[in-house]
Structure 1
């Protein structure tokens, strides 16, 4: 028996979970997975409370019942013609192997049957600044009324569509599927229902389901392969050892790269390192030569390889390293800075310890921005050069712009135009981009992978973005009294991040050429 989640997750994990469950008995759940699950549960509860408080005709299935009782209650509610059913569970299907549930079923008054609507804790659309063709199809939360929405664009989410088709197939079995062949998703922010045309993914769903149920029933063999999901999987230590022993090509070319290489007859790192000639015909993953160099570097134990004869990085008289900490999509609670002038460095944090989202976030952001712009202005007035640095600017750019929009008009808050003028200018420097342009990184390009090569190490052995989410929950008292020790831990983690960027930049400027081999020499 499998649910829709298995359709976009690892095939080999499905095999291991069902055939060797005792081998991971007692293995703790990955902290990042747990946090996302808890956040999703809280999000669904908030959506439920908001929706069920409005209008009549609701049937809320008791989540405390057994799965069988919940399924019987769901069928009874549909038979009675309930307008909306929350927490619907459909009867498991031993013959097909399907099991599934939907946060919401909406009666299709125009055509009969029910429309599945799922609640997800990620963004499903992006706003547009002006109306444009090819927008999303959305519906009001409280009245099912699909219409073209030119002010939103869809964020593609195949996993959402496949889950909706899974529920549709189960409704179809009992004669309750709407002939409209549509489903809906309520995402983070829950200001609308995004309407999906399920006819576009029916064939893909049927293909994937047939494959996964064959795996679950032991009818096809699976092998491990390195994919993004691996890092949070309880089987990863076992699989990674096997992959390294096999010298499997996915160790250095993870995900779909490995699939393309296997299709070209390359299954090991050694075969990839020895590749001669043009790239495989269907290679669509950047410069193929990088993959070959990565394999050569792995065989020699090299953490980095230079793409260029001489490494360069932008420097200035006054340098400020910036690192932002956010909690999921709720807000940016900390802007950490490191001011570097004349060989001295001073860390300064601009933080709010009110749980985000909070208006106090506007205060801390305004103080950060004001300080940064004042430092910049004083530097320029003194006839010196200025630069601000981050590592992988996407997160910082997002929260700079989002904060300007969310707190527009409040004291000290810059305009979106001011933010854009700064981040699109020459003084905002992304060290991640400088690393990407000038190095091939066999172990990954994350700051915690690259900075140790330059000699920097974090004080906290557990330091990571995922771990900081747990620390933050304790620091602000999500489950009890605020833990001041965890606040200190977060500040030290943030301070180490900005110092790491500084150390890496200085190393690139002074020592990288001598310490890192050039790709052309491998």
Structure 2
């Protein structure tokens, strides 16, 4: 193992005598009697403008909202990833490190960061920059990397999502030395939130005289194999414009109104916003996001106006789907959950049918493949293929191989008998990802198919996505998620808390990440997974047998 030369400067509230007072250059806080200053971090730059206003206007209300379980899990996963990367990065040879104490008060961490910059440390971990009460900026970087050629520092963030994809053209650097170069094996995965965060950190470093003139920043993503290098000059104008808008919103200088976007699903203010939008019959309830903006620009502010539209799509409408938006508006007014596109509802059926649903945990692997086999009107008991060894684990290869060989063995035996076969999932992207990923990660192990074999199956006629079939047959005013559509067919989940976010928490308990394994949570996951495969079965049978009689035609609304 290489010996690393590391210099620690740890500033904490327990050791005030160690604080380098001369390096402190805090901007003055507001004077007595003034309202608290408004500060925003980079998350606000890609957040809903109305949410930024509400969060700033009612901070106590936001603070009292319990944190969502899924958010807690993502936060914990991000923390674990950052810690793993810290340990990995500090294995670099010959670098002088400063590690700022994460338990110290923010003011002391900011002082430690500035002192380390002034001292010319090679790497600063846990950097916190002084609050800017006048501009409204606040920010922190997992890592500051010294620009050995020009002076100053590059901000580097550690994030728990992918920042590159296979391809070419990205500029990357190795972890041990800052050496940006074009990477012929990776392409950039667009992450505007990362670029804005780096841009804000750059502006804060720039103000203190510690920014590299090269205007570069870096992001270490999930997997932690390299640093993706961003040219911040390319995004700085957009950042400055966005920051000016959001800080004005947060300070109450610009008015905002609610409008439904994707973020609303996880927003604590959504119930209040939805009530306001419903009362106004706002068009964003049926055409959310940028489509609502296009419609408003065309004079369509309400669902009623969209439902009455007669003619081609507005000039600025992006892509297809305008006709569906009109139908969705009419369905909303009529109070119907679905509308048929065609006189006849069709869905692929077979002599032998297998429903499949997979459960994964973050990016660590797929621990459960649940199946349900039906032949001749008779459904066999639910059959799971599972590993309860905490992910990541090599035992995942064993459970995946058992699933794959049972599925393809059933397919081959069915075709050998001259019968038809179909395996069904709902929204195949996740299943396809883990089928291919498992074949790649466990290549050569017993029972593991090749990537080519997996690709042949998922691209073939026997792998059927019911989500795609629903989209082809129906206009869906409330969305096409399984938990939105299956109840229309009469199916309900046994567990009222069933859902992807909740299952992540159940899994942690089931395998004992935070203590002893909880066998009750394992059973809960089996029930949840079984209900998902049964919901898919009920849905396709309903499409075949009853949907035509129960769902109105879109043309009749």
Instruction: Answer yes or no: same fold by TM over 0.5.
Output: yes
The one of 72, 77, 80 equivalent to 2:111 is 72
1:437 aligns with 2:446: no
SS class of match (2:53): helix
Q: Are residue 249 (structure 1) and residue 279 (structure 2) matched?
A: no
Question: 1:194 maps to which residue?
Answer: 228
Using a 3 Å threshold, how does the CA distance of structure 1 residues 285 and 477 change in structure 2: closer, same or farther? Answer: farther
Instruction: Give the secondary structure class of the aligned counterpart of 2:129.
Output: strand
User: Which digits, 9 at most, give the CA deviation of each residue in 1:272-314, with x for residues without a partner?
Assistant: 1111221111111522010010011011111000111211000
Q: Which of 372, 375, 379 does residue 407 from structure 2 map onto?
A: 372
Instruction: Give the one of 147, 162, 170 matched to 1:123.
Output: 162
CA contact (8 A) 1:305 1:516 kept: yes
Please give the root-mean-square deviation of Cα atoms over the aligned residues, in Å: 1.0
Structure 2 residue 31 is matched with structure 1 residue 31: no
Among 44, 48, 59, the alignment partner of 2:82 is 44
CA deviation after TM superposition for structure 1 residue 24, in Å: 4.5
Question: 1:298-334, CA deviations, whole angstroms, 9 ceiling, x for partnerless residues?
Answer: 1111100011121100010000000000001110000
Query: Distance between the aligned counterparts of 2:296 and 2:215, measured in 1?
Result: 37
Match of residue 342, structure 1, among 368, 376, 379: 376
How many residues of Structure 1 are paired with residues of Structure 2 in the alignment?
517
| Separation (CA, whole Å) in 1 of partners of 2:243 and 2:541 | 52
Q: Residues 90 and 178 (structure 1 numbering): CA distance in 2 closer, same or farther, change over 3 Å?
A: same
Which whole-Å CA distance do the structure 2 matches of 1:120 and 1:182 have between them?
A: 17
- 8 Å CA contact 1:319, 1:340 repeated in 2: yes
Work out the CA distance in 1 between the residues paired with 2:320 and 2:229.
34
Is 1:29–1:234's contact at 8 Å kept on the other side of the alignment? Answer: no
The offset of 1:366, in angstroms, is 0.1
Where do 5+ consecutive residues of structure 1 fail to align? Answer: none
Q: Which residue of 2 aligns with 1:297?
A: 331
**Residues in 2 aligned to 1:42 and 1:2: alpha-carbon distance in whole angstroms:** 25
Q: CA deviation at 1:147?
A: 0.7
Worse-matched range after superposition: 32-41 or 204-213: 32-41
Distance in 2 between residues matched to 1:12 and 1:38, nearest whole Å = 28
Q: Deviations over 1:409-436 (max 9, x none)?
A: 0000000000000000000000000011
For residue 450 of structure 1, the aligned residue among 485, 489, 505 is 485
Deviation at residue 398 of structure 1 after TM alignment: 0.2
* 1:40-64 per-position Cα deviation (integer Å, ceiling 9, x unaligned): 1111111112112333311011111
Which of 417, 423, 433 aligns to 1:398? It is 433
Work out whether 1:2 is the aligned partner of 2:40. yes
Q: Give distance in 2, aligned partners of 1:481 and 1:267.
A: 55
Does 1:352 pair with 2:387? Answer: yes
Between 41-50 and 17-26, the greater mean CA deviation after superposition: 17-26
> Superposition pairs for residues 229-268 of structure 1, below 5 Å?
229-268=263-302
2:92 maps to 54
Task: Give me the whole-angstrom Cα distance separating, in 2, the residues matched to 1:249 and 1:64.
Answer: 47
Alpha-carbon offset, residue 447 of structure 1: 0.4
Residue by residue, what CA displacement relative to the aligned partner does 1:342-361 show, whole Å, maximum 9, x if unpaired? Answer: 11112100000111110000
**Among residues 112, 128, 142, which one is paired with 1:89 in the alignment?**
128
User: Are 1:15 and 2:15 an aligned pair?
Assistant: no
Query: Which SS does the other structure have where 2:139 is aligned?
Result: strand
Q: Is the 1:58–1:82 Cα contact (8 Å) retained in structure 2? A: yes
State the Cα deviation string for residues 209-237 of structure 1 (Å, max 9, x = none): 00010011110111111111112111112
Contact 1:31 1:466 in 2 (8 A): yes
What secondary structure is seen at the aligned counterpart in 1 of 2:240? helix
Question: How far apart, in 2, do the equivalents of 1:98 and 1:459 lie?
Answer: 47
Q: Is the 8 A contact 1:257 1:285 kept in 2?
A: no
- Per-residue deviation at 1:27? 2.4
Taking the TM superposition and a 5 Å limit, the aligned residue runs for 1:220-231 are 220-231=254-265
Which sections of structure 2, spanning at least 5 residues, go unmatched? 1-38
Corresponding residue number in structure 1 for 2:27: none
* 1:427 matched to 2:462: yes
Tell me what 1:100 maps to.
139
1:460 is matched with which residue? 495
**Structure 1 length-normalised TM:** 0.98
- SS for the counterpart of 2:478 is coil
SS of alignment partner, residue 122 of structure 1: coil
SS at match of 1:13: helix
Structure 2 residue matching 1:164: 3-state secondary structure: helix
Q: Which has the larger radius of gyration?
A: 2
- Equivalent-residue separation in structure 1 for 2:266 and 2:521 (angstroms): 23
Structure 1 residue 288 corresponds to structure 2 residue 326: no
Q: Distance in 1 between matches of 2:398 and 2:348?
A: 31
